Amino acid sequence: GENVEQHPSTLSVQEGDSAVIKCTYSDSASNYFPWYKQELGKGPQLIIDIRSNVGEKKDQRIAVTLNKTAKHFSLHITETQPEDSAVYFCAASRGSARQLTFGSGTQLTVLP
Amino acid sequence: NAGVTQTPKFQVLKTGQSMTLQCAQDMNHNSMYWYRQDPGMGLRLIYYSASEGTTDKGEVPNGYNVSRLNKREFSLRLESAAPSQTSVYFCASLTSGVSYEQYFGPGTRLTVT
């Protein structure tokens, strides 16, 4: 089955700096890669996703890049703000199966 | 719309006790999921239901059973709770159509002593 590895497990940045979280996946058939944000005491919420036919996708301060050859994808957050502090999860899926395999999560702390 | 709701929010069980975690969604989604979340391990799929009347095992199904009662409701049952089942449990539902976004409930924090 699919295996998703996520790094780093914790990340602290100064407010206004950029943050990068990286994930690798094992199943070359995976074609859908979402990122979820989980705030304390809440369920995860989708923040951005990318499909395998696209190399990069941006949404305001958030961007995701995908390298299919190397089987890795990354989340980039620019101009970080305190409200970006949360746990971020990457995931991978063979879209037709509609099941997600999650990475282990990254605790992002934005220091004021 | 309430989205995905879960009850209870917190539960403490003794080893060997049984309980059912309830999940309901009001978004008319076909697929529903149960995950458990443990520190450092992300979310692991326990069971899922692709549509009303069908259920399938996920990555960690042992010790659990599920029921897809109707399109809205998907319950998770622990027949004989064990300390290893101490975890936070999340229910999710999947949007229909070409999008693959899963909507998560607020979670149930379960402690088995």
Residues contacting residue B13 through CB under 8 Å, at least 6 positions apart: B19, B78, B81, B110, B111, B112, B113
Size of interface A-B (CB pairs under 8 A): 53
Going by their DSSP bridges, the two strands B10-13 and B108-112 should be labelled as parallel
**Confidence at A95, pLDDT banded by 50, 70, 90:** low
Chain B residues 5-24 with CB within 8 Å of chain A: none
**Average pLDDT over chain A, rounded to an integer:** 94
- Residue among B41, B48, B107 minimizing CB distance to A104: B41
Q: Which residue has the higher pLDDT, B69 or A37?
A: A37
**Confidence at A39, pLDDT banded by 50, 70, 90:** very high
The mean per-residue pLDDT over the stretch A78-98 comes to 90
Cα separation, A31 vs B34, in Å, equals 22
B31/A95 Cβ within 8 A: no
Answer yes or no: is pLDDT of A6 > 70: yes
Structure confidence by residue, pLDDT tens digits, B79-91: 999 999 999 999 9
Of B26-30, B45-49, B95-99, give the lowest mean pLDDT range. B95-99
**Confidence at A97, pLDDT banded by 50, 70, 90:** low
Q: Residues B7, B91: contact at Cβ < 8 Å?
A: no
- Min Cα–Cα distance to chain B from A88, Å: 10
The mean per-residue pLDDT over the stretch A30-40 comes to 94
Q: Which residue has the higher pLDDT, A96 or A86?
A: A86
**Confidence at B40, pLDDT banded by 50, 70, 90:** confident
**Confidence at B18, pLDDT banded by 50, 70, 90:** very high
Contacts of B92 in chain A (CB under 8 A): 43
